[in-house]
Structure 1
Amino acid sequence: MPTSSTPYPHPYSQAAQLDSRITIPRPVIDPVLAPIVDAFLLPEELEVSFLRGLAGGGGDDAFVTNADSILKAKPHLTHVEHSISGPDGNTVVLSVFAPKAPAAALPALYYIHGGGMISGDRFSAIPPLMDLLEDIACVIVSVEYRLAPETRAPGPAEDCYAGLVWTSANAASLGIDPAEIVVCAVSGGAPLAAAACLMARDRKLPTVPIKAQMLLSPMLDDRCESVSDKQFEYGAPWSGVTNRRAWGHVLGDTRGTDKVTMYQAPSRATDLSNLPQAFIDAAECEVFRDPAVTYAMNMWRCASTCELHVWPGAVHLFDAVDNPDVPLVGAAISAKRAWLKRMMMPQGKLSVTSMS
């Protein structure tokens, strides 16, 4: 039986056959992807300290991402840090990466990092994000929000919303077109992105509507009761065991109760009308699959627009790094790039002052 400190004892691709606790059928992991997934077995119950250590490079400076390492890889960019007032008298820090000397106001990607809402920082996963934005001239604004359990929901979402409002209000000085802001988030950042878009709609700020939202493998539902939650309770890189524990850090004793609001867990929203158009994707073999599909379906039900992808045989964050040897990874990255180009380059013209 796995413990909270030892790696899961079976290959993820064979978990359904080897783990006696798995008693319901579930999709199988893509056979080309399986060796890669099985090579990185994690503890079944991911602790806050473990996740924060992982996000910090695992103690290896070579894997630490910060402004200096990003600019070293992308020397054509500038980085400026802004500190703004947060919703509770706290300070919210924003990192702005922009091409040097742009000819005109650019679209912006407002980025909210992942980490289950309990780990990571504003530099987490910025390099692969910039790879997605190759050939797109834009500004990236990345927000540093407070983490759980030190700050319970909706505090982190309120931080992200405050940064979004500030970005739009200060668009001119940042070299941003306020009508061309796309909110983007992965995993645990995605509920904060979705909540910020709900807040923007309900509070009618920013005054210029957000153009679009990109929710990648989104952690949307604190109830953890869907079919996919049950299928991947065990034997998955981000298991149902870990998912419930993370939501417990975010919400405390209110997790799963009727006290949870849509700003704390966006799947609680009943009205998804008048939202920015969305791109939502999920892996077939992850707990977040069915809540993501349901969120997309509810957007359609409420006449909002969404492009939805469920990647067959994939696991959580399977496409975090491009891998030309895995066709499924290439397909997922291509879909994201195509959507971003449609949102941020409506004329489809490539730019020489891009993130590449």
Structure 2
Amino acid sequence: MSTYPFPYSQAARLDPRIKIPRPAIDPALAPILDSCLLPEELDIGLMRNYSASEQGETAANPSDSIINGAPHLKHKEFLVPGPQGDNSLVLSVFMPKEPTSAALPALYHIHGGGMVAGDRFSGVAELLDIMKGIECVFLSVEYRLAPETRAPGPAEDCYAGLVWASENAASIGINPAQIVILGSSGGGALAAAMCLMARDRQVPMIPVKGQMLLSPMLDDRCDTISDQQFEYGSPWCGVSNRMAWAHVMGQDRGTNKTTQYQSPSRATDLSNLPSTYIDAAECEVFRDPAVSYAMNMWRCGSTCELHVWPGAFHLFDGIDNPSVPLIHAAVTAKQNWLNRMFS
């Protein structure tokens, strides 16, 4: 499968299929964006192989490389009951070797990968690097992937892990009143869905403290202005986004059969949700669904801090870079919000 033939930062000028105006890429980000051109059509095998190699999963224990970069932490794994009780989930927990409290705040992580790729170690090293100086326990759940497991199965897995963590907080060393859920990209959809589940089912008994949705993949309909603007010439373009949602939803994608637990943008009631942080890049398909979700939270009386980073692309700030002001500003905003949640 051939990669996209033009530099992404120049796509609007070079790709004749792009007919409508769209925001330009920040010049400081253009070299980063153009350094890795991807196939336009989604290739699950390629994504899964890339995720495995990126996490060093050819090693005997992929958590070792994460700990090497964060030597103040230790790693434990827990086998927890799945949503139907007939399967088990693995929960990886990274905790301080010398905690200052027996009940620390917890960040419950749901990895990205379009809900079709990745594992519980995906993106963890980068997040732990961003979170330096924030003392907490970091949990990451191994949820089942699509298309083998259709929505809302992956969200139910993540929710089951959250309930177990809350009910077993003392044994993990966390404060159940200070659990923040973090999901990026496809993981953002699952984070939003499980917060809706927790609100509707009133379990855990102690409400989730906050949710952090980073460039979240929220809407299976894929019909917003940002979807149209970035149909082509973007690392995760409209073509790949629709293909991923088709794997996640099957034939129900885009129909009135879809529920809020499958595609959170379908929710009509966003009241009584935890404090929320949402960010998105200006130059990505997920921009407008993220903005709409924040607006609907406000409409329903929930609170949300929203950032749309100008001239940025999908997950542009995965690694802090103080020499690029926009990246550093985005990372700092996340750190500030988490510090407020955990204070």
TM-score, normalised to structure 1's length? 0.93
For residues 308 and 275 of structure 2, what CA distance do their matches in structure 1 show?
A: 18
CA contact (8 A) 2:115 2:145 kept: yes
Shift of 1:292: 0.1
| Greater shift in the superposed pair: 219-228 or 99-108 | 99-108
Partner of 1:255: 253
Shift of 1:132: 2.1
Deviations 1:252-274 (A, max 9, x none): 00000000000000000000000
Amino acid of the residue matched to residue 93 of structure 2? V
For residues 311 and 41 of structure 2, what CA distance do their matches in structure 1 show?
A: 22
Q: How does 1:55-204 map to 2 (within 5 A)?
A: 55-57=51-53, 66-88=62-84, 89-104=86-101, 105-204=103-202
Amino acid of the residue matched to residue 166 of structure 2? S
In structure 2, relative to structure 1, the CA distance for the partners of 1:59 and 1:70 (3 Å cut) is closer
Partner of 1:231: 229
For residues 23 and 259 of structure 1, what CA distance do their matches in structure 2 show?
A: 32
Partner of 1:352: none
User: Percent of aligned pairs with the same residue?
Assistant: 66
**Counterpart check, 1:32 vs 2:32:** no
Q: Which runs of 5+ in 1 are unaligned?
A: 347-356
CA RMSD after TM alignment? 1.5
**Counterpart check, 1:41 vs 2:40:** no
For residues 66 and 111 of structure 1, what CA distance do their matches in structure 2 show?
A: 17
**Counterpart check, 1:54 vs 2:50:** yes
For residues 310 and 59 of structure 1, what CA distance do their matches in structure 2 show?
A: 28
Which residue, out of 315, 337, 340, partners 2:338? Answer: 340
TM-score, normalised to structure 2's length? 0.97
Amino acid of the residue matched to residue 285 of structure 1? C
CA contact (8 A) 1:56 1:64 kept: no
**Counterpart check, 1:16 vs 2:12:** yes
Tell me how many residue pairs correspond in the alignment: 341
Q: Secondary structure at the match of 1:314?
A: coil
Amino acid of the residue matched to residue 209 of structure 2? K
Q: Secondary structure at the match of 2:53?
A: coil
Partner of 1:349: none
Q: Which runs of 5+ in 2 are unaligned?
A: none
Amino acid of the residue matched to residue 274 of structure 1? N
For residues 244 and 106 of structure 1, what CA distance do their matches in structure 2 show?
A: 39
CA contact (8 A) 1:154 1:264 kept: yes
Q: How does 1:301-320 map to 2 (within 5 A)?
A: 301-320=299-318
Q: How does 1:265-280 map to 2 (within 5 A)?
A: 265-280=263-278
For residues 136 and 187 of structure 1, what CA distance do their matches in structure 2 show?
A: 23
**Counterpart check, 1:209 vs 2:207:** yes
Deviations 1:177-223 (A, max 9, x none): 10000000100000100011000000000000000000000000000
Partner of 1:350: none
Shift of 1:304: 0.2
Q: Secondary structure at the match of 2:175?
A: strand
Shift of 1:100: 1.5
Deviations 1:77-133 (A, max 9, x none): 111111111113221110011012423210000000000000000011101111222
In structure 2, relative to structure 1, the CA distance for the partners of 1:343 and 1:40 (3 Å cut) is same
Shift of 1:75: 2.1
